[in-house]
Amino acid sequence: MFTFRRLLILSVILFFGWISWTIPARASVPLNDQLEATETCEAFQSFRRRTNPGNIQLTPGQIYPVTAKNKDDATHYYLRIDDAEPTARWVSTSCGNLLGTPPVGDITSSNPAFHYFENPHLALAEIKRIIKPNGRAKMAQGDLALQRCRSR
């Protein structure tokens, strides 16, 4: 019985060791942003192995959607390149500049809370930033009176 228990424990340890060895690490930090390429860089399927099927490169001036970064203090961004196969690729952070979160909505609204904000103009700037072009922001009447702003 004692030998069987030792064998069972050893088998379980070996099994989980094998599993952890064969499954690749997928550690990344989610990010919803856009990268404007400033130089031609390779777009890797795996930046550690430096695999680049199709020899895909970023085109300077083109904007790519970014879905993640490899860690908080990132060295690489995970982005989507529609012309690549596979479309998800890693690029060095030095290849371009993040533009900020892309506009997400056609309309936004706010309750009368501006009188609570230390800098209400920053709140308005953030609302304008997240609205798609020609989107609208509607704010209820409060200390700043009824306001409408258009994203241009």
Mean of per-residue pLDDT scores for the chain: 77
> What is the percentage of the chain residues whose pLDDT exceeds 70?
69
Q: Is residue 13 part of a domain?
A: no
Contact between 136 and 107 under an 8 Å Cβ cutoff? The reply is yes
Residue 135 vs residue 101, higher pLDDT: 135
- Number of domains comprising the chain: 2
> What is the percentage of the chain residues whose pLDDT exceeds 90?
34
Q: Is residue 129 part of a domain?
A: yes
CA atoms within 13 A on the CB side of 70: 15
pLDDT score recorded for residue 62: 92
Residue with tokens 């700037």, as numbered in its chain: 125
pLDDT score recorded for residue 32: 83
Q: Is residue 62 part of a domain?
A: yes
Q: Is residue 11 part of a domain?
A: no
- Residue 8 is inside which H or E element, if any? helix 2-22
Residues 87 and 112 in one domain: no
Question: Which amino acid, one-letter code, is at 128?
Answer: K
Residue with tokens 């695999």, as numbered in its chain: 51
Q: In the chain, what is the straight-line distance between the N-terminal and C-terminal CA atoms, in Å?
A: 77
pTM of the model: 0.53
User: Could you read off the pLDDT of 64-121 as tens digits, one per residue?
Assistant: 999 999 988 899 999 999 889 999 999 999 999 988 765 556 655 556 566 777 777 7
- Band the pLDDT of 1: cuts 50, 70, 90: low
Q: Is residue 15 part of a domain?
A: no
* Cα–Cα distance measured from residue 56 to residue 81, given in angstroms and rounded to the nearest whole number: 9
Question: Which amino acid, one-letter code, is at 141?
Answer: Q
Kindly state the DSSP code that residue 46 receives in the 8-state scheme. B
Residue with tokens 């064998």, as numbered in its chain: 7
Residues 112 and 129 in one domain: yes
Residue with tokens 């500049």, as numbered in its chain: 97
pLDDT score recorded for residue 57: 96
* Cα–Cα distance measured from residue 37 to residue 94, given in angstroms and rounded to the nearest whole number: 9
Range of the domain at 82: 29-98
Mean pLDDT value across residues 126-137: 71
Domain boundary among 98, 126, 141: 98
Residues 58 and 94 in one domain: yes
Q: Is residue 47 part of a domain?
A: yes
pLDDT score recorded for residue 53: 94
Residues 39 and 67 in one domain: yes
Q: Is residue 137 part of a domain?
A: yes
56: tokens are 């895909």
Q: Is residue 14 part of a domain?
A: no
Question: Which amino acid, one-letter code, is at 1?
Answer: M
Nearest 10 degrees: Cα torsion 4, 8, 9, 11? 140
29: tokens are 């930090």
pLDDT score recorded for residue 87: 92
